């Protein structure tokens, strides 16, 4: 059995990848996590041929230990907690260390390189994103002639974000659901997270085709008007997209005044001149996705690679019984909520003492 190191395997994106690799029976999986005792880590540790290794993405000794002895690697660094500068450094270092350790196939989980797609217009540059585009270019630039092959898996916004974060609609007193946001008429390449499992498995299984490839995936390419209309069609409840200017959206959604972009990482996370505020981060994010600047996906290629993929937003809403309600998807946000609850409980118990 070939072993694959998965970085980010307890996260929204990594979980389905770990599950697919494990259930294929062709691969064993080693998952790097900061906490082997977390609920999500313990859940995947129950799967056949999945083991955990404790360590962090931003420690080179941990990376050496993690890559040592594995056949392949699937790497999703968390730009949200690392910040742009660290994600760029450790993104490149992880690739270099994997080569040193003799890894044979490296799959890098990237996102659209927004600033480059926007012809270097800084209005489309945000901190939890562009490091991945740079690292993907760096990796593919090393070529495929050496001992290690590499592939890139590029995802846009998760379709599952309709359940968590900025794509959850607000239920109104009259029973309708409103997406009030600054998206214009751009089609967003939303990806069903569960399908990242089969795509990743295909990349590892078919190395002669996948070496050097940037597999750009999406389930469906839809505008927010279409999201609201599909919701109405599927649920019978009224869905509405209401355009609001970016400044108004930022004012309403900012977690707290002057919040940093990586606020989920807590007050002691690394921050410096290169760090963005939450507002600096999410203005460009909305502009890029909401104006449809990203490159279109090759849906025919995706049908060939993964014939049973979910093929439309409508199919996804039916399959997952979507009702416009919030549900935890992102581990970072889930951890933050847990920490907040713990602090409140501690506050209560010290009040009563």
Ligand X SMILES: *[C@@H]1O[C@H](CO)[C@@H](O)[C@H](O)[C@H]1NC(C)=O
Ligand Y SMILES: NC(=O)c1ccc[n+]([C@@H]2O[C@H](COP(=O)([O-])OP(=O)(O)OC[C@H]3O[C@@H](n4cnc5c(N)ncnc54)[C@H](OP(=O)(O)O)[C@@H]3O)[C@@H](O)[C@H]2O)c1
Q: 241 and 231 in contact (C-beta within 8 Å)?
A: no
Q: Whole-number minimum distance, CB 302 to ligand X, in Å? A: 12
Query: Does residue 24 bind ligand X (CB under 6 A)?
Result: no
Query: Does residue 206 bind ligand X (CB under 6 A)?
Result: yes
Across the chain, which distance is largest between two alpha carbons, in Å? Answer: 67
Binding to ligand X (CB under 6 A) within 41-70 occurs at 48-49
Q: Whole-number minimum distance, CB 210 to ligand X, in Å? A: 9
Say which entry of ligand Y, ligand X, none residue 330 contacts (CB below 5 to 8 A, set by partner kind): ligand Y
**Measured between alpha carbons, how far is 112 from 89 in angstroms, rounded to an integer?**
18
Q: What is the DSSP string of 166-230?
A: TTPPEEPTTS-EEEEE---SPPEEEB-GGGHHHHHHHHHHTHHHHTT-EEEE-SEEE-HHHHHHH
Say which entry of ligand Y, ligand X, none residue 79 contacts (CB below 5 to 8 A, set by partner kind): ligand Y
Q: Whole-number minimum distance, CB 127 to ligand X, in Å? A: 37
Beta carbons within 8 Å of 247's beta carbon, 6+ residues apart: none
Query: Does residue 205 bind ligand X (CB under 6 A)?
Result: yes
Nearer residue to ligand Y within complex by CB, 154 or 230: 154
Say which entry of ligand Y, ligand X, none residue 10 contacts (CB below 5 to 8 A, set by partner kind): ligand Y
Burial label, 300 (beta-carbon count in 10 A; 0-12, 13-18, 19+)? exposed
Q: Whole-number minimum distance, CB 49 to ligand X, in Å? A: 4
Query: Does residue 23 bind ligand X (CB under 6 A)?
Result: no
Q: Are strands 177-181 and 170-171 parallel, antiparallel or unpaired?
A: antiparallel
Both tokens assigned to 99: 């080569």
Q: Whole-number minimum distance, CB 208 to ligand Y, in Å? A: 27
Say which entry of ligand X, ligand Y, none residue 14 contacts (CB below 5 to 8 A, set by partner kind): ligand Y
Say which entry of ligand X, ligand Y, none residue 49 contacts (CB below 5 to 8 A, set by partner kind): ligand X
Nearer residue to ligand Y within complex by CB, 11 or 260: 11
SS3 28: strand
Q: Which residues bind ligand X (CB under 6 A)?
A: 1, 28, 48-49, 205-206
């Amino acid at each position: 059995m070939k072993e694959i190191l998965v970085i980010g395997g307890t996260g929204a994106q990594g979980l389905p990848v770990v599950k697919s690799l494990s259930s294929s029976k062709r691969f064993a999986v080693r998952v790097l996590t900061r906490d082997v005792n977390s609920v999500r880590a313990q859940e995947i540790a129950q799967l056949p041929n999945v083991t955990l290794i404790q360590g962090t993405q931003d420690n080179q000794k941990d990376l050496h230990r993690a890559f040592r002895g594995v056949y392949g690697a699937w790497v999703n660094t968390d730009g949200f907690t690392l910040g742009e500068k660290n994600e760029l450094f450790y993104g490149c270092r992880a690739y270099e260390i994997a080569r040193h350790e003799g890894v044979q196939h490296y799959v890098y989980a990237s996102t659209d390189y927004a600033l480059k797609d926007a012809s270097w217009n800084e209005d489309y540059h945000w901190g939890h994103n562009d490091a991945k585009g740079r690292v993907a270019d760096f990796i593919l630039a090393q070529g495929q002639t050496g001992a290690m092959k590499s592939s890139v898996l590029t995802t846009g916004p998760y379709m599952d974000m309709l359940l968590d974060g900025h794509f959850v609609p607000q239920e109104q007193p009259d029973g309708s659901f409103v997406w009030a946001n600054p998206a214009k008429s751009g089609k967003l390449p939303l990806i069903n997270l569960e399908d990242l499992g089969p795509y990743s498995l295909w990349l590892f299984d078919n190395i002669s085709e996948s070496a050097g490839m940037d597999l750009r995936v999406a389930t469906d390419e839809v505008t927010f008007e279409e999201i609201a209309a599909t919701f109405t069609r599927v649920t019978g409840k009224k869905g509405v997209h209401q355009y609001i200017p970016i400044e108004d959206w930022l004012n309403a959604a900012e977690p707290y005044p002057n919040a940093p972009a990586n606020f989920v990482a807590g007050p002691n996370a690394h921050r410096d001149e290169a760090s963005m505020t939450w507002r600096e981060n999410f203005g460009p994010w909305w502009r890029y996705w909401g104006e449809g600047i990203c490159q279109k996906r090759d849906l025919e290629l995706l049908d060939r690679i993964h014939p049973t993929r979910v093929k439309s937003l409508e199919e996804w809403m039916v399959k997952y019984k979507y009702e416009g309600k919030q549900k935890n998807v992102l581990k970072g946000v889930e951890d933050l909520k847990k920490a907040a609850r713990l602090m409140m409980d501690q506050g209560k118990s010290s009040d009563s003492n």
